[in-house]
Chains A and B, each alone.
Chain A
Amino acid sequence: MIRQLLAIKLQTLRGSLRSKQGRLRIPAFAVMSLLFAFMLYGAGEFVTSHALQIDLVGELLVHRLLSITVLVFFALLLFSNVVTAFSTFYLADDLEFLMGQPISTDQLFASRFIESMVQSSWILALFGLPLFIAVGVEMGAPLYYYPLLLVVLLPFVAIPTALASIFALLVTNIIAANRTRDAALFFGLVAFTVLFVIIRAFEPERLLNPDSFDSIGEMMRLLSPPTTAYFPDDWVINILTPVLFELDAPVTWSAILLFTTPIALFFLATWLHRPLYFRGYSNAKEGEHSGGIMVAIRDWLLEKTRTTSRSVDEQLQNLAGSEEQASALRQLIKKDQTIFTRDASQWSQLLIVVAIIVIYLVNFKYFEIAAEGTLIGDIGLVFFNLAACAFVVVALCGRFLFPAVSVEGRAFWIILQAPISLQRFLVGKWLGSLLPIVAVGQFLIWSSNLLVGIDLVATSLAAAQTLIISLVASAMAVGMGAMSPQFHNPNAAKIASSFGAVIFMIFTIFLTLLLIGMWFHATTTLAGMSRSPATPTTWLSALAALLISAAAVVAALKVGARMLARHF
């Protein structure tokens, strides 16, 4: 039965590959991800080879960096597994059908477990494997290091899946999760905080200024990841590094723990699912009618955002008083904003935006102290800040705008049938989301630059570039989200972490860096920071960047609209 349940998923995947859109998209995505994997591989090789050049501590440095990488992946896997677990175990469309079939809880659990694991572990395959392989190649690891990687990473990805399935089970049972997916938000915030603490404990900015270390010993202490022997990332490192450095045999105890823990957790999860799963599933289904703080806030917001709180007659009277022609674009924007404020799973993630801003500003202050007068100087500071702000803007666009078309869901027929072109519809999505994205970008760039005392001219130039990047990134998010819409996926957070969204992130970050690079000389010249005089190329490059930005906005919206029309 488990095999049959999984076979259905594989057949669905094969079906989508056979479809017209699948045939076009899959090779495009494959090329993009291969390109990205190669770039990561290159970056891994670069960092490893440079670290190895440092006398005495080179290998230790590689070891420490590898440990941190594995720990970060563990945190990412935990987060992505929780989001996926809520979808696959409680919110998936086919569950209603499957629950009515003679399938045992054990069988359903096992098949969903595998599905969940595969769905969330592609992060490691795409981002992790190239890095681990690069380290192996640079270190001249023996051949069996590579198959060992696969053997070790399989139990490593199974542990977060098992933990996430238990977490989701407990949440749906204990909290009686109204809006089950809201629980993912709280977990997301916790994971985010943990990651933040890890990174802060690591103080990466100090690496930019090696002089700030009193001794190599202190530098090494700084590079110790905050992990313990109880964490799976530690077990993975204990198995991989002896092989990598051709020292001793892998630590047997770690190997035993790494392979037995997922098995034990799997059986624990299966055992817990027997009495608790149905209750959790049923709670998740009844979510809309149950109480809870999210529902209370949502109801309050509904009161506040209702067209008016007056009777229908008064509303009609109010509307009838105007001879004005209703604007389709304005109505589209208004509709999106109303729905966004009423969808607790969407707006509650705005807390993440606030967290990002605070963390960003705090970190930037640290960065300035560490980098003062050394390696990068004022120009470096301005451009690092610009790139970092652009990254935050792109990430926000990925989270909130990429799913914008998909969240229309099954009601999308209304737009398709209405007398409005899909291009105009996408422009509406874009314009409606511009204000918050631009506001966050501008707030970040102004406050961070002023915080570290960058002068007004340089700050204004950076702000202008951030504005253009915000316009481009938001249009790209809306357009690329329209190219691979997921109208059947009810979970915006999951759409934002889908393969298409990752491609959007990669592509837009590349584009953003290209634009910043093309503006570099013009900016430094205008800000009086340039050491070389401006040439016609300086201004032509800046102008070309502007044209590329405009072209990217138009192309993203046009191609998005065209592909959206062909989706049906």
Chain B
Amino acid sequence: MNDETPPQTDGSTGEAPLVVVRGLTKTYDDFTAVDHIDLDVPTGQVFGVLGPNGAGKTTTMRMITGLIEPTAGSISIDGFDLQKDTVDAKKVTGFIPDRPYVYDKLTAFEYLRFIGGLYGMTEKRIAARIDELLTLFELREWSNGLIESFSHGMKQRLVFSGALLPEPRLLVIDEPMVGLDPKGHHLVKTLFRSLVEEQRMSILLSTHTLEVAEEVCDQIVIINHGRIIARGTLGQLRLESGENDGNLEQVFLRITEETEDERDQAVARRFGNARRSVEEEAS
């Protein structure tokens, strides 16, 4: 695909995708972290991004949330160009990073109120949302405590609450299950489906927990060496991989399988001049 690839409409509803990513590239000096990625995240679906370590998933997610500037390519969220209409694009986006760093000196209540303020919500709406989310994530009795006294899992629940507070149309999640207990796992999985089905929210999640992806994702892309190597529903990926009866783990392993030569070529391409200069130095 190239920059001119038109957004694909969702076959079932005819709706334009909420997120349209074209030719997304990120390089760090000679290293290409993400290499011309095209993505269409449909409205009202859970869209999974899978891939081995260092494949470029987190970089992609961070570019889509505006945490990192892309080197090339475009990202459009709900029709807003992330580079040009940054604030409008971010208004409809919530983000949950893999590590829940928040302001330790605020209380949970103050943190949520602060997030509501950043999104320009009315105070009445902020109050209603805080009320719902504190109950949903079982944080009500902790709401007046300093966040620094929270456990990792509690912080993660708080970050979930913060991301959902402004009722975003797009929720981007990097590793949703890190630090959550089994009850938290269940809560989040149920929540994803209800957000998508009842509120038509789009969820873009990257994860290594294939069981979660299998259970909640409507569509999946697999990234390796900075490029998309497969995309589709689980059924389509099964067909593509030849693992017709396999679970997602088997499908994933088959798709990302590569010979040593293939791997060397991909690495050489990705590390570009840096690798060449190392080889020259070595010789």
Contacts and interface: CB of A to CB of B under 8 A. Distances in A.
A86 B119 CA distance: 39
Nearest to A336: B103
B66 A417 contact: yes
A342 B146 CA distance: 10
A316 B131 contact: yes
Contacts of B86: 419, 421
27 contacts: A288-B148, A320-B128, A321-B124, A324-B123, A325-B121, A325-B122, A325-B123, A326-B120, A326-B123, A326-B126, A327-B120, A328-B120, A331-B113, A332-B117, A335-B103, A335-B106, A335-B114, A342-B146, A411-B101, A411-B102, A413-B67, A415-B118, A419-B88, A419-B118, A419-B119, A568-B62, A568-B68
Interface stretch (B91-99, B221-229, B235-243, B250-258): B91-99
Interface in A507-547: none
Chain A: interface size category: 35 or more
Contacts of A307: 107, 109-110, 113
A483 B116 CA distance: 28
A565 B69 contact: yes
A320 B97 CA distance: 29
B29 interface: yes
B207 interface: no
B61 to A, nearest CB: 11
Interface in A335-351: 335, 338-339, 342-343
Given A312-B144, A417-B67, A418-B90, A320 B124 contact: yes
Contacts of A312: 109, 134, 140, 143-144
B45 interface: no
Closest 8 CB pairs of A and B: A331-B117, A410-B101, A320-B127, A319-B127, A326-B117, A419-B90, A322-B123, A419-B91
A316 B127 contact: yes
Contacts, number: 128
Nearest to B131: A316
Contacts of B113: 307, 319, 326, 331
Nearest to B117: A331
B178 interface: no
A296 interface: no
A11 to B, nearest CB: 16
A288 B149 CA distance: 9
Given A20-B29, A413-B67, A568-B67, A420 B109 contact: no
Interface string B146-183: 10100000000000001000000000000000000000
Interface in A538-568: 565-566, 568
A331 B114 contact: yes
Contacts of B91: 419
Nearest to B116: A326
Interface string A228-250: 00000000000000000000000
A360 B13 CA distance: 73
Nearest to B89: A419
A380 interface: no
A170 interface: no
A324 B134 CA distance: 22
- Give the interface centre of B68, B115, B120 by most chain A CB atoms within 10 Å: B120
B191 interface: no
A414 B124 contact: no
A193 interface: no
Interface in A290-343: 302, 306-307, 311-312, 315-317, 319-328, 330-332, 334-335, 338-339, 342-343
Contacts of A359: none
B65 interface: yes
Contact of A327 (B103, B109, B117, B140): B117
A409 interface: yes
A28 interface: no
Contacts of B143: 312
B72 to A, nearest CB: 15
Contact of A421 (B87, B110, B120): B87
Given A316-B127, A339-B106, A417-B65, 4 more contacts: A307-B113, A328-B117, A413-B67, A419-B118
Interface in A2-56: 18, 20
Nearest to A330: B117
B130 interface: yes
A326 B165 CA distance: 14
B150 to A, nearest CB: 12
Contacts of B84: none
Contacts of B109: 307, 312, 315
A416 B67 CA distance: 6
A139 to B, nearest CB: 49
B93 A324 contact: no
B103 A319 contact: no
A323 B69 contact: no
A565 to B, nearest CB: 6
Contacts of A306: 107, 144
Contacts of A342: 105, 146
A306 B107 CA distance: 8
A339 B90 CA distance: 25
Nearest to A343: B105
A566 B69 contact: yes
Nearest to B147: A411
Contacts of B66: 416-417
A323 B134 contact: no
A307 B106 CA distance: 10
A334 B69 CA distance: 29
A126 B66 CA distance: 39
Contacts of A330: 117
A321 B126 CA distance: 11
B92 to A, nearest CB: 8
Contact of A331 (B65, B88, B118, B162): B118
A415 B117 CA distance: 12
Q: Which residue among A312, A343, A415 has the maximum number of chain B CB atoms within 10 Å of its CB? A: A312
A413 to B, nearest CB: 6
